[in-house]
Amino acid sequence: MPDLPSIALFALVAACIVFAAIALVLVLWRGRDGAAPHAAVIAELARVQTDNAARLEALMGHFTNTQSQLQRSVNERLDAVTHRLGESMQHTTQKTAENLQKLNERLAVIDSAQRNITQLASQVTSLQSILANKQSRGAFGQGRMEVIVGDGLPKGSYAFEYTLPNKTRPDCVIFLPDNRLLVIDAKFPLEAITACRDARSEDERKLAAARLRQDVTKHINDVAKYLVPGETQELAFMFVPSESIYAELHEDFDDLVQKAFRARVVIVSPSLLMLAIQLVRQNQRDSRMREAADQIRDEVGRLVKDVGLLGDRIRKLQAHFNQSSEDIRQSIISIEKIEGRGERIAQVEFNGDGADASQALSAPVRKLQAGE
């Protein structure tokens, strides 16, 4: 883009060319007419040149002012743009630092989550290895059952590995207020359930279902052996330490659930076992309250009897007190009589100067009556 001095110079040259063209036209025009002398033409050209010079000077002044204003405006705008650019860069730098800090924090959280995932994966692998072994799987189910029972009941109201009168030993028994035991035994048919889940064809599903029915039926029969008439409750619990396995048994193998009911065995999941434990605890609390109520009733009867005896004794004491009051009253009457006799004796006058007794007035003599 050309600068202002170049534009002004170009305008000046253009104006000179225009003026020269105009003067040439006038000369030619007047030469053709022959009416004006050569001196008049020169004078006219001088005047036009003077006017053009004045106009050109005014135009140069205007261009100079415009250039200075434009320069000042450009400088102000450059300063404003520089200031905004500095603020924008500072704000961008601050935001970038904050975003980097947040990014580092999130990376730290991701690292922590990655470590937790790694630990969880190792634990899942360990759990899988534990559940792969039947003995370890049984210990896992029994341990979970023991935790639920131990957290829900007070010590002394249950026992683990208790020997029944028929020499069998269930995983747990609970002592109920009617002196009959509630039997709980943990069973974990994981292999059969896993086979059903992993079955791909219809034949594989049938074989897996048959295996599951066989395993669960064996578990039901084993738990039913713990029922001893007169010693245990009429029902026993078969604890399945997995909500998903319990749900699959009730959803897909209802015949096994009905068979368990007929064998007086109730299949329970962890949540149902916790609910049953809470009911047992409430039953034990109610039994203790009934026993306490009987004791309170006996104590109240004894208290009423003691209060009756105390009333009899107080009435006897009142009778003795009344008799004592009467004896005291009679004693006071006797004292008053004795005092009266003493006063009358004191009023009797004896003549101590030897006066003639015949001259004295004879006082009437009253004989004392018996009892006075």
CATH number, domain containing residue 224 = 3.40.1350
Q: Are residues 144 and 29 in the same domain?
A: no
Show which of 256, 272, 290 is a domain's final residue: 290
Whether 28 and 146 map to the same domain: the answer is no
Residue 243 makes CB contacts below 8 A (sequence gap 6+) with 269, 270, 271
Neighbouring residues of 225: CB distance < 8 A, sequence distance ≥ 6: 166, 168
Judging by DSSP bridges, how do beta strands 172-175 and 158-160 pair with one another? antiparallel
Residue 335 lies in a domain: no
Q: Is 64 helix (H, G, I), strand (E, B) or coil?
A: helix
Q: What is the pLDDT of residue 366?
A: 47
Q: Determine the Cα–Cα distance for residues 161 and 322; give it in Å rounded to an integer.
A: 74
Residue 100 tokens, joined: 């980097």
Residues paired with 298 in a beta bridge = none
Residue 261 lies in a domain: yes
- In three-state secondary structure terms, 154 is coil
Give yes or no: residues 148 and 284 share one domain: yes
Tens-level pLDDT at each residue, the chain (372 residues): 445 555 555 566 566 666 666 665 555 555 554 444 567 767 777 777 777 777 777 777 777 888 888 888 888 888 888 888 888 888 888 888 888 888 888 888 888 888 888 777 665 555 455 455 555 556 777 888 888 888 888 888 889 888 888 888 898 999 888 788 899 988 877 777 777 777 778 888 888 888 888 888 888 898 899 988 888 888 899 988 888 888 888 888 888 888 888 999 998 888 888 888 888 888 888 877 877 777 788 888 888 888 888 888 888 888 888 888 888 888 888 888 888 888 888 887 544 444 444 444 444 444 444 444
Residues 15 and 149 in one domain: no
Residue 279 and residue 144 share a domain: yes
Q: Residue 310, class by beta-carbon neighbours within 10 Å (0-12 exposed, 13-18 middle, 19+ buried)?
A: exposed
Is 83 part of any domain? Answer: no
Residue 92 carries which side chain, given as an amino acid letter?
A: T
**277 within some domain:** yes
The separation between CA 263 and the C-alpha centre of its own chain, rounded to angstroms, equals: 43
Give the range of the structural domain holding residue 175, as residue numbers without chain letter: 140-290
Which residue, among 188, 190, 191, 186, has the nearest Cα to 142 in the 3D structure? 186
309 lies in some domain: no
Encoded tokens for 16: 């000179």
Which of 269, 290, 311 represents a domain boundary (last residue)? 290
Strands annotated E in the chain = 158-160, 172-175, 181-186, 232-239, 265-268
Q: What is the structure's pLDDT at 245?
A: 82
- Quick check: is 301 in a domain? no
CA angle 269, 260, 155 (to 5 degrees): 45
- Cβ-Cβ contacts under 8 Å for 177 (sequence gap 6 or more): 283, 284, 287
Global pTM?
A: 0.46
What's the token pair of residue 157?
């109201």
How many independent structural domains does the chain possess? 2
User: What's residue 136's pLDDT?
Assistant: 59
Residue at 270 is within a domain: yes
Same domain, 285 and 145: yes
Asked whether residue 84 is assigned to any structural domain, the reply reads no
